[in-house]
């Protein structure tokens, strides 16, 4: 997906198209007033006050039609510099523009004219409106003025614009693909999770089928961790403000945390991450160098106050569950333990067929003394150590300044999803800072106290985001081991008692074998039930008729295929168990 904000030619073109849209809106709605119309990574938008009118699909069609007229007119776009007083006079009566102008300095205010339309803007713009003809309005919504829920609601209209029709058509195809892959759409169709404003924005709830996937992911990663010597713990979702002052999160991360709660004279906060709790678990008793490495893992519930505009289903919420772990190691163990984490990441990616990723060494910005713990020697030591480990392991990586955690550098593994922008899925962070802040020690072989080094690591990241990623990569066509419903039984005729009896016998047999199975015996035609099973995306569809009853067999078809195969019940179960054990990739997910 193109980033309109970062590509200069597209940014200028889309900025101009926003003005074309505003001019068309003003012609159709003379009472319209405009707030801001910026270019963003997905195109452009304009926030508009239409009075009592509300945007709908018919209004969008009318606006697009008028925009085409504006483009066909090919009016030149002129830039003018005016004084603050002239600007106040020109936009007198428009409270939105006056609000913007009040925050500007005199002497550098610009407006742009195109035909009868004039707008306050710093630019730049294209030469004339004809250059904006390859556009499309893609969505609309209601938003609070300035993002403040105490203000009134404005209409926000989004659009995109390209130099050529071919580029526009290609982008629209990608948008359609994105809609089909959107985990929120898939989650609704498959009945996986829900949200409700009465509970709270950014606080999704997992329904039985969604929680089945969640549990499978939890069991999967815990089994891998246990095999590598991890010990799992459970810690509370709250901590005192004092805990986070000790860790440094209160100084460096407070704006992302929920407000403190006062209880019996003590201040508590919902935890944004788990490292302070795990530091205290380590500090619970004395340790010898013989105890290290100590690997503490947890599927931990965390809370961060994300801005409402960034919330996106289970991919980005205010509550999520991290596949978190902290490894307490000696300086000599850093490389071997870090390599083990990296091996675990890529072994996991192999199981999920994740191939499009890149490794990033995220470093601090030395000039930023606010975001990062201020200790140059510590940072130089940590960054050099991590760089040396990556080089020794032989990992290809790029370096990015300003992306480190506040307490230390990290390796981020960024995935490129089927649609949308790259984001971090897995991470491993090297930390000399927090162990010192919590006065963590171990007794070395020479009998002296030393401070351990901590590796913070998350393989699946958060289970919530990982599930969203897998749903979008596979379009919901999950591998058999991960599917919430692995097989659906469809009796050809619902009124046939013998057939229904065999269907229930097969259902109970498969359940006893550990297969997640359902029966659809609704009073609907077979074709209707087949289509419903396709939407549910169960990997196996079992269609039973008189022949299957007579022979005590199973006739199945794979999701997305028409061909049918008939086998004995035992053969069928053996096939499913082998596919679950090997975590075979569902062929439908690769189409």
Q: Which residues form the catalytic set?
A: 275, 304, 322, 324, 326, 410, 456
Structure tokens at 23: 């001019």
- How far apart are the C-alpha atoms of 473 and 418, rounded to whole Å? 6
- Considering only CA atoms, give the Rg of the chain: 29
Q: Is 556 within 8 Å of 572 (Cβ atoms)?
A: yes
- How far apart are the C-alpha atoms of 348 and 337, rounded to whole Å? 17
Q: Is residue 497 packed enough to be buried (19+ CB in 10 Å), middle (13-18) or exposed (0-12)?
A: exposed
- How far apart are the C-alpha atoms of 155 and 140, rounded to whole Å? 7
Q: Is 239 within 8 Å of 260 (Cβ atoms)?
A: no
Alpha-helical (H) ranges within 91-232 are 95-102, 165-181, 183-189, 208-227
- How far apart are the C-alpha atoms of 137 and 67, rounded to whole Å? 10
501's enclosing H/E stretch is helix 497-512
Structure tokens at 278: 């795990």
Helix-helix angle 208-227:463-474, to 10 degrees = 110
Quote the longest CA-to-CA distance of the chain: 91
Structure tokens at 1: 């997906």
- How far apart are the C-alpha atoms of 421 and 423, rounded to whole Å? 7
- How far apart are the C-alpha atoms of 10 and 31, rounded to whole Å? 30
């Amino acid at each position: 997906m193109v980033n309109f904000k970062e590509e200069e030619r597209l940014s200028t073109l889309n900025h101009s198209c926003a003005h074309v849209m505003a001019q068309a809106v003003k012609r159709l709605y003379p009472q319209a007033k405009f707030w801001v119309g910026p270019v963003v990574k997905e195109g452009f938008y304009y926030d508009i006050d239409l009075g009592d009118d509300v945007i709908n699909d018919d209004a969008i069609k009318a606006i697009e039609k008028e925009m085409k007229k504006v483009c066909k007119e090919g009016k030149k776009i002129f830039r003018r510099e005016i004084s603050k007083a002239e600007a106040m006079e020109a936009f007198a009566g428009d409270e939105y523009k006056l609000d913007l102008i009040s925050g500007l300095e005199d002497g550098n205010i610009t407006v742009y004219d195109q035909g009868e339309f004039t707008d306050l803007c710093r630019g730049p713009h294209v030469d004339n409106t004809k250059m904006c003809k390859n556009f499309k309005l893609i969505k609309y919504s209601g938003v609070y003025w300035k993002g403040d829920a105490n203000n009134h609601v404005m209409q926000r209209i989004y659009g995109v614009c390209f130099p050529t029709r071919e580029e526009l058509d290609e982008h629209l195809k990608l948008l359609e693909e994105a809609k089909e892959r959107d985990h929120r759409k898939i989650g609704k169709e498959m009945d996986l999770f829900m949200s409700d404003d009465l509970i709270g924005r950014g606080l999704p709830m997992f329904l039985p089928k969604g929680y089945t996937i969640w549990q499978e992911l939890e069991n999967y990663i815990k089994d891998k961790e246990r095999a590598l010597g991890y010990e799992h713990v459970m810690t509370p979702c709250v901590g005192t403000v004092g805990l986070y002052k000790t860790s440094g999160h209160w100084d460096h991360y407070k704006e992302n945390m929920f407000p403190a709660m006062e209880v019996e004279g003590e201040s508590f906060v919902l935890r944004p991450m788990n490292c302070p709790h795990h530091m205290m678990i380590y500090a619970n008793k004395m340790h010898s160098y013989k105890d290290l490495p100590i690997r503490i893992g947890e599927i931990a519930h965390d809370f961060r106050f994300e801005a409402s505009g960034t919330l996106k289903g289970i991919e980005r919420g205010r509550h999520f569950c991290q596949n978190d772990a902290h490894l307490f190691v000696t300086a000599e163990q850093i490389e071997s333990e870090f390599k083990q984490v990296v091996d675990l990441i890529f072994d996991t990616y192999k199981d999920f067929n994740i191939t499009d990723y890149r490794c990033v060494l995220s470093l601090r910005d030395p000039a930023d003394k606010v975001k990062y713990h201020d200790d140059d020697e510590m940072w130089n030591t940590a960054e050099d150590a991590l760089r040396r480990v990556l080089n020794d392991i032989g990992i290809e990586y790029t370096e990015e300044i300003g992306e480190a955690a506040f307490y230390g550098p990290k390796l981020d593994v960024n995935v490129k999803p089927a649609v949308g922008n790259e984001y971090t899925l897995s991470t491993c962070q090297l930390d000399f800072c927090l162990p010192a802040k919590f006065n963590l020690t171990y007794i070395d072989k020479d009998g002296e106290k030393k401070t351990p080094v901590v590796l913070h690591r998350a393989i699946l990241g958060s289970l919530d985001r990982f599930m969203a990623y897998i749903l979008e990569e596979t379009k919901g066509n999950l591998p058999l081991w991960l599917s919430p419903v692995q097989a659906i039984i469809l009796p050809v005729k619902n009124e046939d008692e013998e057939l229904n009896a065999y269907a229930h016998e097969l259902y109970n047999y498969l359940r006893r074998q550990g297969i997640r199975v359902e029966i659809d015996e609704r009073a609907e035609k077979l074709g209707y039930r087949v289509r419903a099973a396709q939407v549910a995306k169960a990997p196996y569809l079992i269609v039973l008729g008189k022949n299957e009853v007579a022979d005590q067999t199973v006739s199945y078809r794979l999701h997305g295929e028409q061909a049918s195969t008939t086998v004995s019940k035992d053969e069928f179960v053996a096939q499913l168990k082998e596919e679950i054990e090997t975590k075979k990739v569902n062929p439908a997910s690769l189409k």
